């Protein structure tokens, strides 16, 4: 496997009009170092042809940037009010756990200065509720993922001998039962509607 080197982009310096080097994100081998045989291996991109029979619909030419953007920036789905109401009840069950108050709000730097250095995706019950409301969480699997992330963060940051670690472990077990019951009910309702 070839070791890739960073691309060095040339930018004109405003004062001297000399190129200034900076490192780009994309990694490809330097073209000066390519041998003639390697250059010949690359072939030009072929024009794509449509396989559709109906050619009356004009096609918008797609660019690589718009294709990449569409894969990484999918808009959140329109909030489903029925899902929000039902998942809101599950959220309330989890929040009302006797240890729920420690997971209600985001961790502040004043409470744990190194928390955001250790935990890269912080999660809490208030954030989960907002994500449901905004339509970012649109199904029970996404809800379950964020709830488990919240507990995993607590168990990763706190020592196994700490009270918070044990509270997270206990609350996670009870939350798992609530979520599993919810998902079984959800599956049953889907199967009866079909």
> Taking a C-beta distance cutoff of 8 angstroms, is the pair 85, 141 a contact?
no
**Hey, what CATH topology would domain 81-193 get?**
Histone Acetyltransferase; Chain A (1.20.920)
DSSP element (H, E) containing 173: helix 163-193
pLDDT digits (tens, 9 = 90+) for 126-163: 999 999 999 999 999 999 999 999 999 999 999 999 99
pLDDT digits (tens, 9 = 90+) for 60-70: 444 444 444 44
Packing angle of the helix pair 140-157, 163-193 (nearest 10 deg): 170
| pLDDT tens series, the chain, 194 aa | 555 555 555 544 444 444 444 444 444 444 444 455 444 555 555 555 544 444 444 444 444 444 444 444 444 455 589 999 999 999 999 999 999 999 999 999 999 999 999 999 999 999 999 999 999 999 999 999 999 999 999 999 999 999 999 999 999 999 999 999 999 988 877 788 77
**In angstroms, rounded to a whole number, what is the distance separating the alpha carbons of residues 102 and 168?**
9
Where exactly are the structural domains of the chain? 81-193
DSSP for 79-139, written as a single string = P-HHHHHHHHHHHHHHHTSTTGGGGSSPPPTTT-TTHHHH-SS---HHHHHHHHHTTS--S
pLDDT digits (tens, 9 = 90+) for 143-152: 999 999 999 9
pTM as predicted: 0.59
CA 123 to chain CA centroid, Å, is 13
**In angstroms, rounded to a whole number, what is the distance separating the alpha carbons of residues 178 and 191?**
20
The phi and psi torsions of 81 (rounded to 5 degrees) equal -60, -40
> Taking a C-beta distance cutoff of 8 angstroms, is the pair 128, 143 a contact?
yes
């Amino acid at each position: 496997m070839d070791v890739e080197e960073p691309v060095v982009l040339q930018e004109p310096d405003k004062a001297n009009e000399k190129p200034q080097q900076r490192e780009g994100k994309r990694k490809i081998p330097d073209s000066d170092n390519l041998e003639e045989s390697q250059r010949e291996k690359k072939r030009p991109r072929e024009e794509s042809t449509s396989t559709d029979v109906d050619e009356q619909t004009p096609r918008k030419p797609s660019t690589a940037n718009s294709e990449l953007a569409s894969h990484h920036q999918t808009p959140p789905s329109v909030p489903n009010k029925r899902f929000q109401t039902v998942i809101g009840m599950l959220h309330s069950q989890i929040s009302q756990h006797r240890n729920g108050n420690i997971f209600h709000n985001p961790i502040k730097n004043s409470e744990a200065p190194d928390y955001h250095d250790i935990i890269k995706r912080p999660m809490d019950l208030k954030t989960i509720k907002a994500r449901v409301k905004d339509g970012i969480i649109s199904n029970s699997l996404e809800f379950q993922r964020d709830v488990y992330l919240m507990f995993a963060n607590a168990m990763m940051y706190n020592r196994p001998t700490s009270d918070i670690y044990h509270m997270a472990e206990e609350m996670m077990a009870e939350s798992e039962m609530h979520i599993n019951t919810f998902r079984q009910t959800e599956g049953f309702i889907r199967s009866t509607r079909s």
